[in-house]
Homo-oligomer: A and B are copies of this chain.
Amino acid sequence: MTRQLHLNLFVYPGGHHEAAWRHPGSDPSRVLDIRFYQDLARRAEAAAFDAVFFADGPSLADNVRHASRFRLEPFTWLSAIAAATERIGLIATASTTYTEPYNLARLFASLDHLSGGRAGWNIVTTGAPQAAQNFGLDEHPVHAERYGRAREFTDVVTRLWDSWEDGALVADQESGVFADTDKIHDIDHDGKHFRVRGPLNTPRTPQGRPVYVQAGSSEDGRDFAATYAEAVFTAHQTLASGQEFYADIKKRAAALGRDPRQVLVLPGISPFIGSTEAEAQALSDELNALTQPAYSLQLLRRLLGVDLDEAALDGPVPLDLIDGSGERGYGSRFQLIVDLVERERPTVRQLLHRLAGARGHRVIAGTPVQVADQLQEWFEQGAADGFNVMPPHLPGGFDTFADEVVPILRERGLFRAAYEGATLREHYGLPRPRSTYSAPVTQEETA
């Protein structure tokens, strides 16, 4: 079996382009209709995608006036999607800064149970400072502090998932033993941020543990990914940047004694597809024409800290005004945009259009063959194990990718024609972990 690429559908209400909801192919009256998302997941499953993925954050974006930027709560949404699908993985973003490990461990364990082993956890520390004010904090915890908590949080959750060994659920009607309590363990965690006794109140899940996903590419984020992540979502505009990141993550993981093949690197890509290059570009132009400067400038303010008005749209991006001294300056997305500006020297309007597609993720406009070529290049040139596909508009943008690009990837032997496994771990080629409380595997078991 040759190496295969992995594809997730990154779901965003209305589509990833900031003006997607205004596109004639969108139906904004359905942004809260679960059947819309169930149908989308079924389409992704029909294309044998590895997973659907939901971003999240516990606050309302400050620019919801002009764009579909409310939040779909991932656990409830993905549980309802699980009920409408059979095989596709279900990746929920959840914050280690604004939840309790016991509650989060339960939600993921339950999603894994009810989906038959399809859950993944995109571990985030939450970048939005306004979240703090929804949780009684005056100030958003700084980056390093959030990652310290994230590490301890992830360790606690892991031990809770392990607290019921495989086989602890006996359910023997005859003997009357429901659970073998010798295989259920208090975790007795007593750390800097958390004290948690355990055990979890639900048996070990089909996957043992949901898949660990991580999406920060800062220095702290890379360290965290190398330690915990089995899949890494990341944003890169150039092959060179993708290659640097890919090599670095694999090297850091190997240095920690991990098998680098078990840390999948999955950059985001937003594909604009047309039967000709001009048609693809026309779709991009059509969506960009629907953007609203009031929204776009606010996004720029959030990403770069630079405060511009509409009068500045057709001038150059004023690099000297960009303030990278604060928290924002530590973010990988900040650096990506600064690099882009330095490389391409766009006008403000051009930069806004670049960011409108996917908030800094890579946008590809081209024919199905051109898009497939790009994916293959990154996959074979050491920049990606697969991709987080971010269709500019939904459902049409996904359908075009599934109908036009996926068959080409299959012809080239790069992507599965059908699922071979049942769980997300199996789709991703990841092992099912043993409980840390289980006895070591004996030679006979491994023989």
Contact = CB atoms under 8 A, between A and B. Distances in A.
A3 interface: no
B113 A32 contact: yes
Contact of A100 (B80, B135, B194): B135
A374 interface: no
Contacts of A194: 136
Chain A contact surface mostly:
loop
Interface stretch (A58-66, A237-245, A432-440): A58-66
Given A102-B58, A202-B70, A83 B34 contact: yes
User: A-B pairs with the 7 shortest C-beta distances?
Assistant: A83-B83, A79-B79, A73-B110, A28-B171, A133-B197, A60-B201, A34-B114
25 contacts: A23-B173, A28-B178, A32-B169, A34-B82, A38-B83, A60-B198, A65-B177, A65-B180, A65-B181, A66-B176, A66-B177, A70-B179, A70-B201, A70-B203, A71-B202, A73-B107, A75-B76, A76-B111, A80-B114, A98-B103, A100-B135, A102-B135, A130-B197, A133-B195, A134-B198
Given A22-B176, A34-B83, A60-B184, 14 more contacts: A21-B173, A24-B173, A32-B169, A65-B177, A65-B178, A65-B181, A71-B201, A73-B107, A73-B109, A80-B114, A83-B83, A130-B197, A136-B194, A176-B290
Given A32-B113, A130-B197, A107 B173 contact: no
Interface in A289-330: 290, 292
A196 B65 contact: no
A28 B174 CA distance: 11
Interface string A8-47: 0000000000000111101011011010001000000000
A84 to B, nearest CB: 6
Interface in A93-139: 98-100, 102-103, 106-107, 109-111, 113-114, 130, 133-136
